[in-house]
Structure 1
Amino acid sequence: MSTQIILPRVMQVGEGASQEIPAILTSLGCSRPLIITDKMMVQLGYADSIQTRLAAQSITAEVFDDTVPEPTVSSIQAGVDTVRHGNYDSIIALGGGSPIDSAKAISILGKFGGTMRDYKFPRIVNEEGLPIIAVPTTAGTGSEVTRFTIITDETTDEKMLCVGIGFMPVAALVDFSLTLSLPARITADTGIDALTHAMEAYVSKKASPYSDSQALSAMRLIGPNLRRVFHDGTDKAAREAMMLGSTLAGIAFSNASVALVHGMSRPIGAAFHVPHGLSNAMLLPAVTEFSIPEAAERYADCARAMGVATEQDSTDVANSKLMDELRALNDELQVPTPEQFGIARQQFFDLMPTMAEQALASGSPNNNPRVPSAEQIVEIYKQLW
């Protein structure tokens, strides 16, 4: 059976990659970009740096900085209006997963109109919106190399998964130097998000030899370096490894899909506004323990790739070490439980059946090596508390 691989047309990887934006725009025949970002990227001077570099090439770029964490239908509307009323031929998506996800949605809606729900999975979006040059500033979501975007419908608290080539950036400029200013909390949350992407891609029922190679490489980079960047954000070698690992994990899950962790994570984020990487981190140990019986060899491979088990360790020993590592990682990276995050117990428990149905409806749990029932998902949610 063959596997279709979808990637950005151009990838520039390494320190200083983001400085290649003018040349990339020229190669795409574009000259009127809109920078879509958030206010932090403006405060840090990243947006201004891009504008200055473009101005030196006689290219004017305006900035839309009203994206928000965990983008919603209403939060992207101003960006859609900006595109529809402006004369732009391209988008520079600058920031973490939220600005890049927002830019993907704005690219399609700005060109073709309609509402975000019109583009929700199971529809496959192959229309080409405005070309996107993605410049990630976190080592986490891998959104710069995926054909997905997730937008929350705030009227129903549903995180809508939107899928298709139309959401794949045309270019990804992966520059780890842009992550050096990340605070420890965001470093941890996005780092565990990337680790989850790699692990889920590797154990996914849609995995292929190609996605396996990317996922294993990602785990080899992330496993030894996640703690290092959490404790010392100026560690360039660790930042570089995390950034490349995040991108490879993004390529892996874009082509193999995510599984149960992500399926269960989205409803927590939508209902309780838990950052995506953090809700993944809350879930990863419990979901891994639930899933190991149906993919013991694969999870053992994950442990070995992450460097917590050796080739000489048996499958059972490797998986025992993997579970110890995931729990220890959450402790060291100070990942809170839902209770510690401040979620009301009654509300969390009352919503569990609804969240379980939403998780199953997303389709991601069907890719899991062990496919759960709604009742089993509720039991896992209870374990998190």
Structure 2
Amino acid sequence: MQKGTINLGIMERVIFGQPSATALVEEVDRIGAKNVFLLVGGTLNKETDEVKKIVKALGHRFCGVHDRMPAHSPRDAVVECANLARSCNTDLLVTFGGGSVTDGGKAVTICLEHNILDVDGLEPFRTVVNEKGNRRFPEYEAPTVRQIAIPTTLSGGEFNARAGITDSRLKLKQSFVHRGIMPISVILDGAITRHTPEWLFLSTGIRAVDHAVETYLSLDANDYWDGAALHSLKLLHEGLTRVKQDADDLEARQKCLMGAWLSMTGIVSGCRLGASHAIGHILGGTANVPHGYTSCVMLPHVLAWNRSVNGERQHSLSMALGQPDVLAAKLIASLVEELGMPQKLGDVGVTQSQFVDLAKNCMLDDWTFSNPRMIRTPEQVIEILELAS
């Protein structure tokens, strides 16, 4: 008989299928915020009018904007944004953009609550992993300035109480985990994703596929998470292939957003993932590979490496993808190819000369130690990297 615990977060609402500016104003009214600060994607702010729509809709409640959050949410950009937001007496943070903006926003709320003024001030708040894979979660007061997230990609981090923040000095992405950094609300608006570059939308869609797959194959898998993961996979497969065929298919874009939300069901309630995510974190922070691309180049090869211990479970993934007689690793690889995404580490600029450092850093990520096939040495990580090379 299955045993486990489902941890519920503190998110209050998810609004979908409504124009983002309209939905945001309704949420601001509900929450009663007076000084709303925007953390937005730079391209979204400079090359579209979507941010201007939100500023106009907020009216006198708009108090400032930051649009300089680089990929992988480096600490210095987080602190810069927090210092600006603090100077505006912010009482609500709205993030509008991709995964780096969303995660950066979570860390901004930590900085606001604890008066963090420089990059070293974030150090006591990060999660630490020892050589056995055991995690230490610092205890601290939850942020009182909450976050509303409006995602434009499919990474799904807006549903999570975890932020990936990069220490640029170490070239290492580190986790900040606290139930209090989960956004209070999320707004899913397929129409605004039309501005997202195709490569970014589709690659982060594979990131969401990765969430669903590694949730279903998790050491912690249970019936509750299984159902969400498998349906997520179906929605994402349909939605992504339709968007590739017709970028203006807004119904398909909304299906992708809903699929990405479902893919996070396990993660946000305590599910441990595996090597695709662990290696992906390190590829991002150490080798500067974009979020979505990490899953494109790693997931099929992690599936192949793990198949000796969970081949039967992987067959259910093949069934969800509509081809039960084809290995899941091949089906995911075919989807990546169909979407025109990179398939090998070399395609994203990672060479074998980097493998030793990447593998060493992977041993600092907690999800390395919860991979279905046990990983306890850097050499095992290198085996997976070689499959992907």
Partner of 2:368: 365
Secondary structure of 1:295's partner? helix
The range that moved more, 107-116 or 151-160, is 107-116
Q: Which amino acid aligns with 2:78?
A: I
Partner of 2:385: 381
- With normalisation by structure 1, the TM-score equals 0.90
Partner of 2:130: none
Match of 1:147 among 148, 152, 161: 161
1:163-211, Cα deviation, whole Å (9 max, x unpaired):
1112200111111111122222112211101100111111111233332
Partner of 2:276: 261
CA distance in 2, matches of 1:38, 1:219: 27
1:315-369, Cα deviation, whole Å (9 max, x unpaired):
xx3xx332221221222223332323334xxxx3333223223213211022221
Partner of 1:49: 53
Secondary structure of 2:61's partner? coil
Q: Which amino acid aligns with 1:27?
A: R
Secondary structure of 2:37's partner? strand
Does the 8 Å contact 1:51/1:61 carry over to 2? Answer: no
CA distance in 2, matches of 1:94, 1:7: 20
Secondary structure of 1:370's partner? coil
Q: Does structure 1 residue 354 correspond to structure 2 residue 357?
A: yes
Does the 8 Å contact 1:92/1:133 carry over to 2? Answer: yes
Partner of 1:31: 34
Secondary structure of 2:213's partner? helix
- With normalisation by structure 2, the TM-score equals 0.90
Match of 1:332 among 338, 350, 375: 338
CA distance in 1, matches of 2:168, 2:182: 24
1:22-67, Cα deviation, whole Å (9 max, x unpaired):
2211221212110111221213112111111111xx4234211111
Partner of 1:314: none
Match of 1:82 among 84, 88, 113: 84
Tell me how far 1:17 sits from its aligned partner: 4.8
Tell me how far 1:237 sits from its aligned partner: 2.0
Assess, with a 3 A threshold, how the Cα gap between structure 1 residues 360 and 279 changes in structure 2: closer, same or farther. Answer: same
Assess, with a 3 A threshold, how the Cα gap between structure 1 residues 290 and 35 changes in structure 2: closer, same or farther. Answer: same
1:253-291, Cα deviation, whole Å (9 max, x unpaired):
222133110111122222221101101110011100111
Partner of 1:214: 228
Assess, with a 3 A threshold, how the Cα gap between structure 1 residues 125 and 202 changes in structure 2: closer, same or farther. Answer: farther
Assess, with a 3 A threshold, how the Cα gap between structure 1 residues 376 and 224 changes in structure 2: closer, same or farther. Answer: same
Partner of 1:308: 323
Q: Does structure 1 residue 179 correspond to structure 2 residue 193?
A: yes
Q: Which amino acid aligns with 1:288?
A: L
Partner of 1:276: 291
Total equivalences in the alignment: 369
CA distance in 2, matches of 1:259, 1:329: 20
Assess, with a 3 A threshold, how the Cα gap between structure 1 residues 268 and 89 changes in structure 2: closer, same or farther. Answer: same
| Unmatched tracts of structure 2, length 5 or more | 128-135
| Unmatched tracts of structure 1, length 5 or more | 310-316
Q: Which amino acid aligns with 1:157?
A: K
Q: Which amino acid aligns with 2:250?
A: K
Tell me how far 1:298 sits from its aligned partner: 2.2
Assess, with a 3 A threshold, how the Cα gap between structure 1 residues 228 and 80 changes in structure 2: closer, same or farther. Answer: same
Secondary structure of 1:3's partner? coil
Partner of 1:11: 14
Q: Which amino acid aligns with 1:355?
A: L
The range that moved more, 277-286 or 368-377, is 368-377
- Report the identity percentage: 23
Secondary structure of 1:225's partner? helix
Q: Which amino acid aligns with 1:374?
A: P
Partner of 2:98: 96
CA distance in 2, matches of 1:357, 1:304: 36
Secondary structure of 1:79's partner? helix
CA distance in 2, matches of 1:362, 1:18: 37
Tell me how far 1:84 sits from its aligned partner: 2.7
Match of 1:119 among 114, 125, 131: 125
